[in-house]
Amino acid sequence: MNILAFGEVMLRFTVADRMMLEQSDQLTMSTVGTGVNLLSSLAHFGYETSMLTVLPDNPIGKKAAADVRKLGISDKNILYRGKNLGSFFVELGQGARPQRVTYQDRLSSSFCLMNADDYDFEKALIGVDMVHICGIALSLNRQTRKAALHLAEVAHERHKTVCFDFNYRMSLNEDNNHETMKKRYQKILPFVDIAFGSRRDLTDLLDYQVDDETKLYQKFCQDYQINFFAGSKRNFIDNRKYFEGFLFHHDKIYRSAAKELNILDRIGSGDAFASGILTGLIEKWDFEDILEFAIANSVLAQASMNDSPIFSKADVFHYIDTDGKNDLIR
């Protein structure tokens, strides 16, 4: 199984010792992004992965590529152009104090400045079984949008499994109006086989007016010939946090049990869930097992530092088998 992901790679700067930016000068850097996170997890589950992206042609780009390789992802499809890499700062939270993410400008990044026509998608798709496209590309700019759309189309034509993550965030789209964004998503969805998103993505972004959740997902999947639709969410009960997910396929919603969260680092929970779902689909497990595996992968990811999950299948099964109650492995 060979999976290609397309999307932006970013630098993450985490403030040391759970401090806030004003309190410390010490940062730990890591290389992240929806594609990187997803492929890191899939690589650690044993699949061949490669990242299709653009990095700056300078020491920062080389650092990012080294990190990508370290995560087990091939860098053979990485292009080096320009000078900038998108970045964000993370201040880890504690209890009532939320984890805080502050983005630096992404629009001047090498990825955003790349001309959509300069990608050689045909070549990147050779030997690839599955393609993952992050929906953020639809929000960034014309070039990233065009590239994402073109890749989805080409991959679909070549019968690759196309996965798509809505990843729709209001804060990224302050300057885009609702109708524009809706049209962009509608344009890419016909090429998609597996979609990750939430109920709200369908009702608020795509303007579906269906109350019943099953019927809502049914309509959505029929409209765009989508094979699988999955998503995760978090709940708070009595000041404890829980994580759960769903998988919709052939007119039926499958739901996971809710698992308690003990968060070290919140970011990447959706990517960990998605890589778990894809793994289960690749391995053709029962839907219940797929959901249990995906939730477990995400719960573990949220209990570990940084965005990119690095758990093996054995690690995830160990969590499932012990119900998260083993606190020492030796």
Q: Which of residues 73-92 bind its own copies (CB under 8 A)?
A: 83-85, 87-89, 91
- Binding track over 119-148 against its own copies, x by CB under 8 A: ------------------------------
Task: Output the smallest distance, CB 195 to its own copies, in A.
Answer: 22
236 versus 284: smaller Cβ distance to its own copies: 236
Of 280-309, which residues contact its own copies (CB under 8 A)? Answer: 299-300, 303-306
**Contact call for residue 26 and its own copies (CB under 8 A):** yes
**Contact call for residue 264 and its own copies (CB under 8 A):** yes
* Helices 287-302, 269-283: inter-axial angle, 10-degree rounding: 150
> CA-based diameter of the chain, in Å?
55
Pick from 122, 126, 127, 171 the residue near its own copies by CB under 8 A.
171
171 versus 209: smaller Cβ distance to its own copies: 171
Of 124, 10, 118, nearest to 63 by C-alpha is: 10
The residue type at 114: M
**Contact call for residue 257 and its own copies (CB under 8 A):** no
SS3 237: strand
Residue 132 tokens read as: 């993952």
The strand pairing partners of 277, in sequence order, are: none
Pick from 267, 277, 282, 290 the residue near its own copies by CB under 8 A.
267
Of 219-248, which residues contact its own copies (CB under 8 A)? Answer: 234, 236, 239, 241
Give the contacts of 308 (CB within 8 A, at least 6 positions apart): 30, 32, 36, 37, 40, 41, 71, 268, 271
**Contact call for residue 175 and its own copies (CB under 8 A):** no
43 versus 155: smaller Cβ distance to its own copies: 43
Pick from 39, 136, 155, 261 the residue near its own copies by CB under 8 A.
261
Give the contacts of 328 (CB within 8 A, at least 6 positions apart): none
Pick from 69, 146, 219, 233 the residue near its own copies by CB under 8 A.
69
Length of the chain counted residue by residue: 330
219 versus 241: smaller Cβ distance to its own copies: 241
The CA distance from 256 to 152, in Å, is: 29
Q: What is the size of the binding site for its own copies (CB under 8 A)?
A: 80
Residue 290's alpha-carbon distances to 52, 185, 244, in angstroms, are 27, 26, 12
